Chain A
């Protein structure tokens, strides 16, 4: 079987061509690596294009009080102190350089009056911090890096005559298995061309996972078909580990009507630019939902909240701009209490707050989306919105500095597929910056690893390749099995209804039983037709990944007996400082998911000193707090609680 496998040799193989993958590719190629980018869609179509609001980076162009320290602090607060503090630090420090660099690739961000990159307000960010292009920032990011890659290929063409001599995109190509040598080091990757169904094998000592998230395991989601947790599952099967898988971000504002568009994202910029959330009684309900940990940091009256848009130095921000987990839970509660809209959401109103001209200028693609898909003119009437599965905070456990994955030499991960950076909840805008910062670090980390190997190249045994090929064609060899589409729909319902935004032990246990059943049934799938561009076959293979990752989510959700960020337990509604210092680490033991508790490394003192003791007391255990050295000067005057 392996004789029919196309073979390629590279130094670094990058799986995924979204923001993280492309940035990693640029870094690896610039470090001299022969680099392959492998992606399931066409080049330039990655899910990053859906990102709307912006890239968080403390450039301080709109408010010069901003700094990496304030950004770091906001990120830790947003993640409820469960973040890998080292990742949050690197991210906050390096994001501005990564954004400025995009301008040298040709990016055209919106400008401030003095010609700098404009920055907008967003949930959980103390200052206007998001570099943006209207509400299509993700598209700008992808196109910019796509064009940078083309320009590197043009350089290579001038040098060698072949534009693909050092950097090649393998588009519409799916990786199904990572290849390792006998010692357990990465030796390459195996997959198939979607177009022809033919097999392809990469021999490479380093693989960077940049595959994004897992949202397609949920029924209501803002994610595209690609988000099947491939990188999460590849890492697990290769022997690496996943952390924080219980934390799923439900974006508070997804479209809810008509049913066919349910889940499609409505950007947070609507709220950043003045939009408010109201219930069926016309009440701005978010004022009732400011949790203790954020009390004092948000406006207490509508008047104050409204003044903040024009005078942020003397007023506090409106609670519509709380971190996403808080807003999503609030909407959920309002609907449950019977104060929802006709289609089961709440109203998001910008029409009564800003002029049509301003709305069209700042939110053109939202206007277009609602007009075309729901027949709603957002300059005239409110939108109906509700929570939608948007992002997984959990992912591959990585070394913060190099993005190296745990336990598997040669494996790296960046972007949504990696875990730790965002803790229990990601702030809006921190995703695009994450992609750039850690994409760059992963590309460089992989290059350094390969250089460190010298002449040695791990090689996979042929039997490993043969086994991967056999697993890939198995859905064609079964008669009378089940339809993969049916199984997928069932999986989405299980995750949505039983491990969704609000969870409890009995339901998660039910979900685990259903998942075990689905997993058994997924052994007997039947697909029709042949291997050429066959979506039924592709789904059958992706399902395996979704089932493994869903089980990690459910098992971790059952273990964590508290509510924090993107994990809300009806039966354990409070945040518990005793759980803060613990990570749940998933690995595979044969076919079974196992989870271990792992203590978090204590935060470095200079970073701890950025917070006031009273604030730390809300998150840390008394013992942890006692160990924090006293810092009378703690937290400078830019602390949000001062305003």
Chain B
């Protein structure tokens, strides 16, 4: 089954650009990335797009399809009708480099601010013992393929460029939660960092990040809300506050 689809693809660079119309062949079982590749091979050799694995595992081909943040390799053409125009645009939250490729260095800069995993001082390599049930909580967040679609869709930065300074975004909140929940991480101040270093308070849990996550990580429910609760517990509960002063309890 083959048909000619109408595509509109954003072409341009940091200086500006426009949506360009294409008519392009679509075959059974194809995904949007296949069509972008066909455009490259047959109509527009210099059309810029990032991609690697083409199997939803590397998180490179993030873009917006008809306005929705998506991985191009996991968006099947069969989800559109044959007479529907498919519009592909770059992620809006990050500066455009060229065509569908954006500058995602914001995410790497934020990642470098999180204090790294701190190994337990009393255990040698090979001596780590953890229960499966305990590692599973952090493992959920380590499924993250760093496609940055959650960062792209988060309105705290999508619509407010000036928030980027103080706000790390959902990708980095799950990193904070992952370290906080790691059974053997030696640091006890993960929650403080989420509040003071990452601006987790600016998130108002609209769950947009969870909705667009191609790995179906429950970002809001399993990472952000628990972190926020612990921020509240640690900071504003007088009994816990007292506990942290007189004991060595990790709030």
A: which residues have CB within 8 A of B? 41-45, 47, 49-50, 59, 96-97, 100-101, 103-106, 108-111, 113-116, 118, 133-134, 136, 139-140, 143, 147-148, 150-151, 153-154, 163, 195, 224-226, 257-261, 264-265, 365, 368-369, 372-374, 483-486, 489, 527-530, 532-537
Contact = CB atoms under 8 A, between A and B. Distances in A.
A195 B57 contact: no
Interface string B146-158: 1000000000000
A150 to B, nearest CB: 5
A41 B76 contact: no
Contacts of B52: 41, 45, 47, 224-226
Given A108-B135, A372-B76, A50 B55 contact: yes
B145 A49 contact: yes
Given A45-B59, A100-B125, A106-B116, A111 B182 contact: no
B195 to A, nearest CB: 20
A250 to B, nearest CB: 18
B96 to A, nearest CB: 10
Given A47-B53, A258-B28, A265-B55, 6 more contacts: A50-B58, A111-B132, A136-B57, A224-B52, A369-B55, A528-B46
Contacts, number: 171
Given A104-B125, A108-B182, A373 B74 contact: yes
Contact of B97 (A110, A226, A533): A533
Nearest to B143: A136
B138 interface: yes
B51 to A, nearest CB: 7
Nearest to A223: B53
Contacts of B142: 108, 133, 139-140, 143
12 contacts: A44-B146, A45-B59, A103-B125, A104-B119, A104-B125, A106-B117, A116-B129, A151-B116, A154-B115, A258-B30, A365-B57, A368-B56
Contact of B131 (A45, A115, A136): A115
B111 interface: yes
A533 B129 contact: no
B131 A534 contact: no
A220 to B, nearest CB: 13
A259 B119 contact: no
A462 B196 CA distance: 51
Contacts of A97: 125-126
A139 B116 contact: no
B240 interface: no
A485 B45 contact: yes
A376 to B, nearest CB: 11
B27 A259 contact: yes
Contacts of A43: 108
B246 interface: no
A260 B54 CA distance: 10
Contacts of B58: 41, 45, 49-50, 224
Contacts of B55: 50, 261, 264-265, 369, 373
Interface stretch (B98-106, B159-167, B199-207): B98-106
B249 interface: no
B247 interface: no
Contacts of A47: 52-53
Interface in B72-111: 74, 76, 97-99, 101, 104, 108, 111
B104 to A, nearest CB: 7
B210 interface: no
Contacts of B23: none
A357 to B, nearest CB: 15
A264 B104 CA distance: 27
A32 to B, nearest CB: 20
B135 A534 contact: no
Contact of B46 (A154, A224, A535): A535
Contacts of A134: 139
A260 B30 contact: yes
B82 to A, nearest CB: 17
Nearest to A532: B98
A264 B54 contact: yes
B116 A147 contact: yes
Nearest to B14: A532
Interface in B21-44: 27-31, 34, 40-42, 44
A225 B119 CA distance: 36
B48 interface: yes
B115 to A, nearest CB: 7
A139 B57 CA distance: 8
A106 B27 contact: no
B59 to A, nearest CB: 7
A374 B76 CA distance: 10
Contacts of B51: 224-225
B208 interface: no
Nearest to A171: B108
A139 B182 contact: no
Contact of A42 (B27, B56, B57, B60): B60
A222 B180 CA distance: 36
B235 interface: no
A546 B13 CA distance: 30
Contacts of A139: 57, 142-143, 145
B29 A374 contact: yes
B248 interface: no
A536 B40 contact: yes
A226 to B, nearest CB: 7
A257 B46 contact: no
Contacts of B219: none
B128 interface: yes
A409 B52 CA distance: 33
A264 B54 CA distance: 8
B50 interface: yes
Nearest to B112: A150
The 8 closest A-B pairs by CB, nearest first: A258-B29, A106-B117, A529-B46, A151-B116, A536-B45, A115-B129, A100-B125, A485-B41
Nearest to A257: B29
B46 A536 contact: yes
A535 B29 contact: no
Most buried by B among A50, A115, A533: A533
Contacts of A49: 53, 57-58, 145
A258 B34 CA distance: 12
Given A43-B108, A115-B129, A532-B13, A259 B29 contact: yes
A261 B119 CA distance: 41
Contacts of A365: 57
Nearest to A43: B108
Contacts of A59: 126
